[in-house]
Protein backbone atom coordinates (compact mmCIF):
# COMPACT_ATOMS: atom_id res chain seq x y z
CA UNK A 1 0.00 0.00 0.00
CA UNK A 2 1.40 3.35 -1.05
CA UNK A 3 1.78 6.11 1.54
CA UNK A 4 1.85 9.80 0.74
CA UNK A 5 3.73 12.69 2.33
CA UNK A 6 0.57 14.81 2.64
CA UNK A 7 -1.94 14.42 5.48
CA UNK A 8 -4.03 11.29 5.26
CA UNK A 9 -7.28 10.02 6.73
CA UNK A 10 -5.19 7.09 8.03
CA UNK A 11 -3.82 9.39 10.74
CA UNK A 12 -7.30 10.12 12.11
CA UNK A 13 -7.84 8.19 15.34
CA UNK A 14 -11.56 7.96 14.66
CA UNK A 15 -10.81 6.27 11.31
CA UNK A 16 -8.39 3.86 13.03
CA UNK A 17 -11.07 3.05 15.60
CA UNK A 18 -13.51 2.49 12.75
CA UNK A 19 -11.20 -0.11 11.26
CA UNK A 20 -10.95 -1.84 14.64
CA UNK A 21 -14.74 -1.69 15.00
CA UNK A 22 -15.22 -3.43 11.66
CA UNK A 23 -12.70 -6.13 12.59
CA UNK A 24 -14.46 -6.65 15.95
CA UNK A 25 -17.83 -6.94 14.22
CA UNK A 26 -16.53 -9.49 11.73
CA UNK A 27 -15.13 -11.58 14.59
CA UNK A 28 -18.32 -11.15 16.62
CA UNK A 29 -20.57 -12.27 13.77
CA UNK A 30 -18.40 -15.16 12.56
CA UNK A 31 -20.06 -17.73 14.88
CA UNK A 32 -23.62 -16.45 14.26
CA UNK A 33 -26.01 -19.10 12.92
CA UNK A 34 -25.72 -19.77 9.20
CA UNK A 35 -29.36 -18.79 8.70
CA UNK A 36 -28.42 -15.26 9.85
CA UNK A 37 -25.77 -14.86 7.13
CA UNK A 38 -28.02 -12.63 4.98
CA UNK A 39 -29.75 -10.97 7.92
CA UNK A 40 -28.14 -9.65 11.05
CA UNK A 41 -24.62 -10.78 10.12
CA UNK A 42 -24.68 -9.00 6.78
CA UNK A 43 -26.26 -5.81 8.16
CA UNK A 44 -23.81 -5.56 11.05
CA UNK A 45 -20.84 -6.07 8.78
CA UNK A 46 -22.00 -3.56 6.17
CA UNK A 47 -22.81 -0.91 8.78
CA UNK A 48 -19.45 -1.34 10.53
CA UNK A 49 -17.48 -1.14 7.28
CA UNK A 50 -19.44 1.96 6.31
CA UNK A 51 -18.05 3.92 9.28
CA UNK A 52 -14.34 4.13 8.36
CA UNK A 53 -15.20 4.08 4.65
CA UNK A 54 -17.28 7.25 4.94
CA UNK A 55 -14.69 8.96 7.14
CA UNK A 56 -12.05 8.23 4.50
CA UNK A 57 -14.26 9.19 1.58
CA UNK A 58 -15.29 12.45 3.20
CA UNK A 59 -11.69 13.30 3.98
CA UNK A 60 -10.88 13.06 0.29
CA UNK A 61 -13.77 15.22 -0.89
CA UNK A 62 -13.23 18.70 -2.26
CA UNK A 63 -15.47 20.71 0.05
CA UNK A 64 -16.07 21.01 3.76
CA UNK A 65 -19.79 20.40 3.18
CA UNK A 66 -19.09 17.07 1.48
CA UNK A 67 -16.78 16.08 4.34
CA UNK A 68 -19.47 16.99 6.90
CA UNK A 69 -22.02 14.95 4.97
CA UNK A 70 -19.82 11.86 4.97
CA UNK A 71 -19.09 12.26 8.70
CA UNK A 72 -22.84 12.43 9.24
CA UNK A 73 -23.32 9.21 7.25
CA UNK A 74 -20.55 7.57 9.33
CA UNK A 75 -22.38 8.63 12.49
CA UNK A 76 -25.62 7.18 11.15
CA UNK A 77 -23.82 3.90 10.53
CA UNK A 78 -22.55 3.95 14.13
CA UNK A 79 -26.16 4.32 15.29
CA UNK A 80 -27.07 1.36 13.09
CA UNK A 81 -24.24 -0.76 14.58
CA UNK A 82 -25.40 0.17 18.07
CA UNK A 83 -29.01 -0.79 17.29
CA UNK A 84 -28.01 -4.07 15.66
CA UNK A 85 -25.80 -4.94 18.65
CA UNK A 86 -28.76 -4.41 20.98
CA UNK A 87 -30.79 -6.81 18.83
CA UNK A 88 -27.85 -9.23 18.80
CA UNK A 89 -27.68 -9.18 22.59
CA UNK A 90 -31.43 -9.68 22.99
CA UNK A 91 -31.34 -12.65 20.64
CA UNK A 92 -28.54 -14.17 22.70
CA UNK A 93 -25.99 -14.09 19.87
CA UNK A 94 -22.40 -13.06 20.37
CA UNK A 95 -20.17 -12.68 23.38
CA UNK A 96 -21.47 -10.17 25.94
CA UNK A 97 -17.95 -8.93 26.72
CA UNK A 98 -17.33 -8.20 23.04
CA UNK A 99 -20.72 -6.50 22.69
CA UNK A 100 -19.92 -4.30 25.70
CA UNK A 101 -16.57 -3.37 24.14
CA UNK A 102 -18.26 -2.57 20.83
CA UNK A 103 -20.81 -0.36 22.62
CA UNK A 104 -18.01 1.53 24.36
CA UNK A 105 -16.10 2.03 21.09
CA UNK A 106 -19.26 3.22 19.34
CA UNK A 107 -19.97 5.80 22.06
CA UNK A 108 -16.39 7.07 21.94
CA UNK A 109 -16.50 7.34 18.15
CA UNK A 110 -19.84 9.15 18.22
CA UNK A 111 -18.36 11.77 20.55
CA UNK A 112 -15.27 12.18 18.37
CA UNK A 113 -17.31 12.52 15.20
CA UNK A 114 -19.48 15.16 16.90
CA UNK A 115 -16.35 17.13 17.82
CA UNK A 116 -15.01 16.78 14.27
CA UNK A 117 -18.28 17.98 12.77
CA UNK A 118 -18.38 20.90 15.18
CA UNK A 119 -14.80 21.81 14.34
CA UNK A 120 -15.50 21.64 10.62
CA UNK A 121 -18.65 23.68 10.99
CA UNK A 122 -16.62 26.39 12.70
CA UNK A 123 -13.99 26.55 9.98
CA UNK A 124 -11.21 24.09 10.81
CA UNK A 125 -10.36 20.94 8.89
CA UNK A 126 -9.98 17.86 11.11
103, part of any domain: yes
Residues 76-126: pLDDT tens digits? 999 999 999 999 999 999 999 999 999 999 999 999 999 999 999 987 655
Q: Are 84 and 50 in contact (CB under 8 A)?
A: no
Whether 87 is in a domain gets the answer yes
Is the CB of residue 111 less than 8 Å from the CB of residue 27? no
Residue 66: domain span = 12-121
Q: What is the CATH number of the domain that holds 110?
A: 1.20.1440.60
Q: Which of helix, strand or coil describes residue 33?
A: coil
> Which residues, including other chains, have CB under 8 Å from residue 4's CB and lie 6 or more apart?
none
Give the count of domains, the chain: 1
The pTM assigned to this predicted structure is 0.90
Residue 15 has pLDDT above 50, yes or no: yes
Amino acid sequence: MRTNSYPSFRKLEVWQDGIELAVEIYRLTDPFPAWERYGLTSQLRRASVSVPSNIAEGYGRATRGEYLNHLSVANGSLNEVETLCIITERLGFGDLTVLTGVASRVTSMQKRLARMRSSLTHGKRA
